[in-house]
Chain A
Amino acid sequence: MFSAGAESLLHQAREIQEEELKKFCSRISKLLQTEDLGPDTVDSLQRLFLIISATKYHRRLEKMCIDLLQATLSLPACPEQLQVLCTAILREMSPCDSLSLAWDHTQNSRQLSLVASVLLAQGDRNEEVRAVGQGVLRALESRQPEGPSFRHLLPVMAKVVVLSPGTLQEDQTTLLSKRLVDWLRYASLQQGFPHSGSFFSTPRARQPGPITEVDGAVATDFFTVLSTGHRFTEDQWLNVQGFSMLRAWLLHSGPEGPGALDTDDGSEQEGSMLSVISATSSAGRLLPPRERLREVAFEYCQRLIEQSNRRALRKGDSDLQKACLVEAVLVLDVLCRQDPSFLYRSLSCLKALHGRLQGDPASVRVLLPLARFFLSHGEVAAVDSEAVCRHLFTRIPSEQFHSPMLAFEFIQFCRDNLHLFAGHLSTLRLSFPNLFKFLAWNSPPLTSEFVELLPALADAGTALEMLHALLDLPCLTAALDLQLRSSPAPSERPLWDTSLRVPSCLEAFRDPKFQGLFQYLLRPKASGTIERLAPLHQLLQPMASCARVAQCAEAVPTLLQVFFSAVTQVADGALTNQLALLLLGRSDSLYPAPGYAACVYRVLSSQFLALCKLKPSLVVELARDLLEFLGSVNGLCSRASLVTSVVWAIGEYLSVTYDRRCTVEQINKFFEALEALLFEVTQCRPSATLPSCPPQVVTVLMTTLTKLASRSQDLIPRTSLLLSKMRNLAQSPASSTGGHESPGREAGPRLGLAPSETLTQGWPLFILWALSPSPLLLGHAELS
């Protein structure tokens, strides 16, 4: 579809020079001046539109050309194609200071609508929005309410109200509210006449029939968007448009503005039980226009809910029924906020709807606004919102995580309604494993949503379980994929990646030995226990090349950062220690996706330091575990960033300044362990299987050893011996070490020093830097 020809056309349109454009414009001006409205003009205008729209930079058109475009638009006999083109060109140029379009009452409503689109695109620099709004209202006042014209102007009104809510005066909103009542409630129940009867048809044959419901039955009540027929009358069109803009109108047309009827304060208004339990309909009484509109809106929504129960004959209508249900619930929500007396009647109707939809998987997206309604108004209504939440969070994510729109809407629902979850936050928090399923399957669009949502989900009680879950997120993606592959229910098109065949993983998934682990991974709620999923890592390794798993793995580091910043705010000392231990413990047990471990280590290493900074005494408290961690050289080089952080933290915080319980024995023990590590690291030769250790590790080991020595004077002689050994190591000829690059050599070029100079000339720097905070050893500073 987008061929090379189109690419070159775009290129030409962009590159056209000013001179050439000028000539083109004058050609167009000539055509328009002579009111030549034929194919030549159309073709030229199409090209002009492309020239204007193809570039983001301003294209200067001659004033005469612009004026002629505006004039042509306003010509009474101008064919629609040309009108539309002129409008499009003027709109694409906007905002533009050289336009002089104005609202002109003599034009027909289609032209007015086109003019409005250009005016509204100016960015309200000269109060165009207000002018357009006033223009539309004047047209409404002056013409017949059912005239063919208003169909084109009502959407303009909707746009004006949304763009600039306070722009209408009260009597004007009253007027439009009255009209809306007429269109919504009293539209004709007969089908429209055909536009042109044929010469031979008899008048009786042209008699239109009644409007029908979507299931073919004759309409039983007033006309709505779910009423069908072969042709429609003007007032029926206005009914459709009126309902389409109803919610925006109810929200924005109040004199107080959209924000005044705030959701959080609604409960105070709802406190009046008398009005709430009033079951009498106010249809009989004469109501002021705004209240009348609300009453009509309520009846309309009720009718839509009833109509949605019918079995639609066409698929398009069936989809529309669901969209109408969502809208009806949203409108009822607005009505109940504006006038609590609607609450009682709404609740009975919506509870019935909820019961009907609960078991229907195709209607799951309607359950979200319903849940929101119950959460916002639940207290007054004694609705079991807890049960509503539980149903929502338990089954739906497990069964429908693969639907991208549902996933997005579900997480949006959680994010936007956190303030409503006040009493049920624990339900939300405990459901995090299920919520993670949406994330694991649809990570690109949902990562940013979870960045906002995680802080609310993070909780001291579930923190450790959640951290494990985040680190295992790619496994979850793999497991969900296997679950879909194994499920008996066939769908039209496979939801998993059919290009990837993973028979061994499927076997493992079905193997009873691993049932427990998979069930734990796929659990819907936080279980309070931790299961080691290391066996699954290896089993699921073939799926690491699956694109979906890789995308999920990419999202994890960001989420880890967010998790830690959230959890450290609520973590007490004990939890901080546990988190630090978890970090270290999981570092050798990560899902083997390419590049995953490296990215995770980077995050874990910076977070470990953050934890230490928050609670320096954890180094002393976890001394034994840290020693154990250091003892495992296996894989040390691959976890270099984490090791560097741990060693640095030891050097920084293992002292009585940070924890009085720090003993000299501890310092000595650490010294020995680090010394051994240093030797091991500098003497192990890099080979094909083991990567060489980055110089940062060596550097940090040396500086930490020096720092520790400054706190335990017995260690000073050992330190100086150690440092000279290191220097000798660096100075030994390369041939004797068989191609081994000493860290000193590697670090040398980076420090701008020649290889052999690094360790000799760098010593004083190291020592001074390491010892600078401690005055104790100034006398020993001449070690070299």
Chain B
Amino acid sequence: MVHAFLIHTLRAPNTEDTGLCRVLYSCVFGAEKSPDDPRPHGAERDRLLRKEQILAVARQVESMCRLQQQASGRPSMDLQLQSSDEQVPLHEAPHGAFRLAAGDPFQEPRTVVWLGVLSLGFALVLDAHENLLLAEGTLRLLARLLLDHLRLLVPSTNLLLRADRIEGILTRFLPHGQLLFLNDQFVQGLEKEFSAAWPR
């Protein structure tokens, strides 16, 4: 099962960028228990920890993506829009996976599967020993749906004030963090359902 899904910024690998990695959206499905810790945690402290864990993941994904881009010699221009009509070739987008050891930053060991599309990074934080083929497929599907339904290729839009749409997509395609085995027709059916509930 998926522990968290996040969308964050990716900065171009070769340019001087003084900004920070920003988490634009994150959703944690269920919460990590802290049963062994004798100190009672304030709710606020737990929330702070959760946010910091997500940011740590985002930073690591950004770093991995940047290193992969540099290694494959992709010019930084890939991160700019060529045209809003162009289909983003998701199967060629930088992607990968890495493991997070227990305690760093999550209590349990977890695996992160990530995908970089233009200047956005998408990542799934999974429990260890998940079906990575399915996770990878789901992540690509989510990225495609978000790009399409939030019109992220249009320069002026951003997703910060459209969390409801993101949530609408997640409740259908990744309900409570459950990776679903959806064949093409199921995906189409769910997409129709979503478009009906959220007209563009």
Binding site for B on A (CB under 8 A): 1-3, 5-7, 9-10, 13, 42-43, 45-47, 49-50, 53, 55-58, 80-81, 84-85, 87-88, 91, 93-97, 113-114, 116-117, 120-125, 129, 152, 155-156, 158-159, 162-164, 214, 225-232, 240-241, 243-245, 248, 314, 316-317, 319-320, 322-324, 326-327, 330, 365-366, 404-405, 408-409, 412, 416, 442, 444-445, 448-449, 492-493, 495-500, 547-548, 551
Contact = CB atoms under 8 A, between A and B. Distances in A.
B158 A123 contact: no
Shortest beta-carbon contacts, A-B, top 8: A497-B73, A56-B51, A548-B71, A155-B175, A225-B181, A123-B31, A445-B98, A95-B43
Nearest to A87: B167
Contacts of B181: 225, 240, 243-244, 320, 323-324, 327
A2 B158 contact: yes
A159 B178 contact: yes
Given A53-B163, A320-B181, A408-B96, A80 B120 contact: no
B145 interface: no
Interface string B1-44: 10000000100000000010010111111111110000000011
A514 B19 CA distance: 48
Interface of B: 1, 9, 19, 22, 24-34, 43-44, 46-48, 51-52, 55, 63-64, 67-68, 70-73, 75, 81, 92, 95-99, 101, 111, 118-120, 127, 129, 131-134, 136-137, 152-153, 155-156, 158, 160-164, 167-168, 171, 175-187, 189, 197-198
Given A6-B158, A445-B64, A49 B73 contact: no
Contacts of A87: 167
B24 to A, nearest CB: 7
A81 B178 CA distance: 21
Given A42-B164, A50-B160, A53-B26, A316 B175 contact: no
Given A323-B133, A330-B131, A365-B133, A47 B29 contact: no
Given A123-B32, A159-B30, A448-B99, A49 B183 contact: no
Contacts of A46: 161-164
Contact of B184 (A125, A317, A493): A317
Contacts of A412: 99, 111
B185 A229 contact: yes
Contact of B29 (A84, A120, A214, A244): A120
Contact of A155 (B31, B32, B137, B178): B178
Contacts of A547: 67, 70-71, 73
Contacts of B101: 448
A116 to B, nearest CB: 7
B30 A2 contact: no
Instruction: Pick from B26, B99, B127 the residue with the most CB of A within 10 Å.
Output: B99
Contact of B98 (A3, A96, A408): A408
Given A152-B175, A229-B185, A81 B198 contact: yes
B95 to A, nearest CB: 7
A164 B32 CA distance: 10
23 contacts: A1-B153, A2-B9, A3-B156, A6-B158, A13-B160, A50-B161, A80-B168, A85-B167, A97-B43, A113-B176, A121-B30, A123-B31, A158-B176, A162-B127, A240-B182, A316-B184, A330-B131, A365-B133, A404-B96, A444-B63, A496-B72, A551-B67, A551-B70
